[in-house]
Structure 1
Amino acid sequence: MPVTTTALAHADDLADFVAASPSSYHAAEEVARRLQAAGFARLREEDAWPAQPGGRFVVVRDGAVIAWTTPADAVATTPAHIFGAHTDSPGFKLKPQPTTGSAGWLQAAVEVYGGPLLNSWLDRELRLAGRLALADGRVVLADTGSLLRLPQLAVHLDREANSALALDRQFQTQPVWGLGDPSQADILAELARSADVEAGEIRGYDVLIADSARGAVFGKDQAFFASGRLDDLASVHAAVVALENSAETPSHISVLAAFDHEELGSGSRSGAAGPFLEDVLARVYAGLGADDVQRRQAFAASWCLSSDVGHSVHPNYAAKHDPVVRPRLGSGPILKVNANQRYATDAVGAAAWRAWCEKAGVRSQEFVSHNSVPCGSTIGPITATRLGIRTVDVGIPILSMHSARELAGVSDLHELTRVAAAFFA
């Protein structure tokens, strides 16, 4: 099926979104920026929140963001439609005492974050991005742009590189960023300069590495889209666009919950296993006059779409996939199923997902793992367990998952947004 001009425009907008979101902290702020421009009012957790229905609000906690719209006729038992995603991606995080080096090179001391494909980070331009906590109490975002590179050893010096490449996670993943004496340099100064502050003001930091290259469309009929951090900014972006363009007045509270730390298991104050979503929903329903029983009534009628990427069948490794259920790029979003509840989808959720896809005029595929190749998990089971809200795990199929640069289908990206819009509407 040919890729439409609308889908191509959507991919270009996603490329801008990813470029503006090199860290989870940047992603949360980019979501807030876009929704504020669309008329959402930004709130702080430490302030009292307005109670009147009809308002649009957004709140940021570290690298997580939750946004919602409350219809004018909402009551204490109005259900919620929650679209869940995550803002973090596998990669590397800057260590304490981060300026290091060897043999006349300046290097950055980094720790592996999550489960990246280590070799995918070789020989590409990289950027440092994250947040800096300053002496005066401020927290500012920093992004150096292209600064680092993780150079691979030449094949002349490693004749086994093409048959047995394995990087030592401590000694062979420290990228270079300059030449000189590490005792006379400070990589934090580069971050401070990018944030327009003094290096001496920095008292703490959460800084990660991201690919510098912008997302790009390519392939026959412009079918493919390659970018860093598609896992899971593709889902975050889909929900943001759906909220920005929402024209219908829904009969439910529409919620975007984009969590941090999914790649680490979600166990943090800003992760899906933490209290953030429950805290926000409690305050939203309190504003509607709901008591605890009424809020639980609302939850019983609510839905959560947990959207994260899944595996497309790989043409070079087809035996790694189920022999029958084989989702493919360009054939629509996926419904993720697992008998052991690594995904939260059940029969009722599958039926609801198909109804939303039909409403949006979108194709849908299924994903299930090969019995000998267990799947990972995501925020869906965590949200279902924590809140008791019926949850469906969905997403788009991709290749190169957890690579520094992942591969998606242009049409799938746009179709996920269309389903998100139907879910919110």
Structure 2
Amino acid sequence: MTSVEHILDLRDYIEASPSSFHAAHEAGRRLEAAGFTRLLESAEWPRHGRHFVIRDGALIAWVTPEDATATTGFNILGAHTDSPSFKLKPKPTTGRFGWLQAGVEVYGGPLLNSWLDRELQLAGRLVDLDGTESLVATGPLLRFPQLAIHLDRAANDGLKLDRQQHMNPVWGQGHPGKEDLLGLLADRAGVDVATIGGYDIVVADTQPGQVFGANNEFFAAGRMDNLTSVHAGLTALINASQATAGTVVPVLAAFDHEEIGSGSRSGACGPILEDILTRVSDGLGASVSDRRRAFANSFCVSADAGHAVHPNYSERHDPANLPVLNGGPLLKINANQRYATDATGAAIWAGLCSAAGAPYQEFVSNNDVPCGSTIGPLTATRLGIRTVDVGTPLLSMHSARELCGVDDPFHLARIAETFFRTAV
């Protein structure tokens, strides 16, 4: 596969994944097509083979080779399926002056202005009273209309958006007492609105991903933070799983809720990864001591998007570390352990990149600009597994539509495939 073929497949994956639930479902569909089997957490599991579990909007997939033992290490690539957006509130049908609007709550830290004047959709899951889940994606339905400059002459001097007052998208004309947004979602999903007991619905962009630039070197799309990493890990695991034997158990851990702190049963602070690794170890006959040895033999690559140098705001970056698009994935470093990278992990990452024949770049924050964090420190703290933080460089991170280089996601996938095949 070339970098262009990879980016077009990433485009298709993003388009099929407007919510974390869709991202997990589409990853599962691709895994099943490649010969993986979905397992239920309530069932008994086979000892060896290619398997995956979906828990809400998270997916864990792994390959247990025939020659794996109780102390075989896990090579884990961690990523997340959610992105900053807006989530549908209870009593979602609002509006006035003949407008129908949707009551939404800000999810994570989106760049609010980037969501203005776009054709948006609602996507996620509806849950019936009997527990049946139905995925739904409406296609173009909503818009956050910006106030015309004639009515706000100072807009270009500093636009300030009130989350409660201004971020209420329109989705039609009529009166809230007569129209029902939840009923529209039920119709689109083919279910009876009277049976819906709950829902997790977010707002997502509808514009397809696009390759562009003087030499087609750029790619723009929504939700690249962090579907670039989920897709790279998914592609790598499918390719690496063709091997019939191995010295490690490769694992893709695509968590949900990273953008709001990971504190959920499907987030990196929750038990999902430890649950899966423990059950795989149990299937290999591991004692508690064996499992600790397996964890000591394990390594985690926490893959999340990072920042490329912005040509118009270079003063916000560290002056000596200025990563660029198409220069390779980032090795993310922070003295205060907002990223989990240490010297040993950095050396392992450098070796993996060399073995894959792929470049990488180092990223460190400007001391005057607070550093974000990732699932890396959470995984390292929870499981004690050595972890390194990496990711695809982006511009416009947390925008409704982000920008990356065409080559970087492909390089990340190649490195991930090498990682899944290599005992480190």
Match of 1:98 in 2: 92
Which of residues 241, 247, 250 in structure 2 aligns to 1:251? 247
**Residue 71 of structure 2 corresponds to residue 115 of structure 1:** no
Q: CA deviation at 1:164?
A: 1.4
2: CA distance, partners of 1:389 / 1:380: 10
Alignment partner, residue 16 of structure 1: 12
Instruction: Give me the whole-angstrom Cα distance separating, in 2, the residues matched to 1:155 and 1:34.
Output: 46
Q: Deviations over 1:55-89 (max 9, x none)?
A: 11110000000000011100000000000000000
Q: Distance in 2 between matches of 1:268 and 1:38?
A: 29
Q: Distance in 2 between matches of 1:15 and 1:102?
A: 37
SS of aligned partner of 1:148: coil
**Aligned-pair distance for 1:191?**
1.1
Q: Find the residue that maps to 2:320 and give its secondary structure.
A: coil
Q: TM-score, normalised by structure 2?
A: 0.98
Question: Which of residues 401, 406, 410 in structure 1 aligns to 2:406?
Answer: 410
Q: 1:311 aligns with which of 307, 312, 318?
A: 307
- C-alpha RMSD of the superposition: 0.8
**Alpha-carbon distance between aligned partners in 2 of 1:243 and 1:195, rounded to the nearest angstrom:** 31
Mapped partners of 1:250, 1:140: distance in 2? 38
Q: Following TM superposition, by how much is the alpha carbon of 1:333 offset from its aligned partner in structure 2, in angstroms? A: 0.5
| 2: CA distance, partners of 1:313 / 1:150 | 29
- One-letter amino acid matched to 2:158: A
Q: Is residue 358 of structure 1 aligned with residue 361 of structure 2?
A: no
The 5-angstrom pairing of residues 294-309 of structure 1 reads 294-309=290-305
How do 1:105-254 residues align onto structure 2 when only pairs under 5 Å count? 105-246=99-240, 247-248=242-243, 249-254=245-250
User: What is residue 420 of structure 1 aligned with on the other side?
Assistant: 416
- Equivalences, count: 419
Q: Distance in 1 between matches of 2:214 and 2:334?
A: 33
The sequence identity of aligned pairs, in percent, is 63
Question: Structure 1-normalised TM-score?
Answer: 0.98
Distance 1:74 1:96 in 2: 48
How far, CA to CA, are the matches of 2:251 and 2:188 in structure 1?
A: 33
Aligned to 1:326: 322
2-side partners of 1:223 and 1:176: how far apart?
A: 35
1:243 partner SS: helix
Q: Which amino acid aligns with 2:413?
A: T
CA drift at 1:327: 0.5
Q: CA deviation at 1:193?
A: 1.5
Contact 2:67 2:246 in 1 (8 A): no
Q: Is the 8 A contact 1:250 1:424 kept in 2?
A: no
SS of match in other structure, 1:241: helix
- Residue 41 of structure 2 aligns with an amino acid whose one-letter code is E
The question of 1:26 aligning with 2:46 is answered no
| Equivalent position of 1:285 in the other structure | 281
Matched letter for residue 147 of structure 2:
L
Per-residue deviation, residues 165-212 of structure 1 (Å, max 9, x unmatched): 011000100100000111100111221122111211211000000001
Partner of 2:340: 344
Tell me the residue number matched to 1:392.
388
- CA shift at 1:137, angstroms? 2.4
**Counterpart Cα distance in 2 of 1:254 and 1:71:** 9
TM-superposed CA distance for 1:375, in Å, is 1.1
Q: What per-residue deviation string (whole Å, max 9, x for no partner) do you get for residues 202-223 of structure 1?
A: 1100000000111110001111
How many Å separate the matches in 1 of 2:238 and 2:88?
34
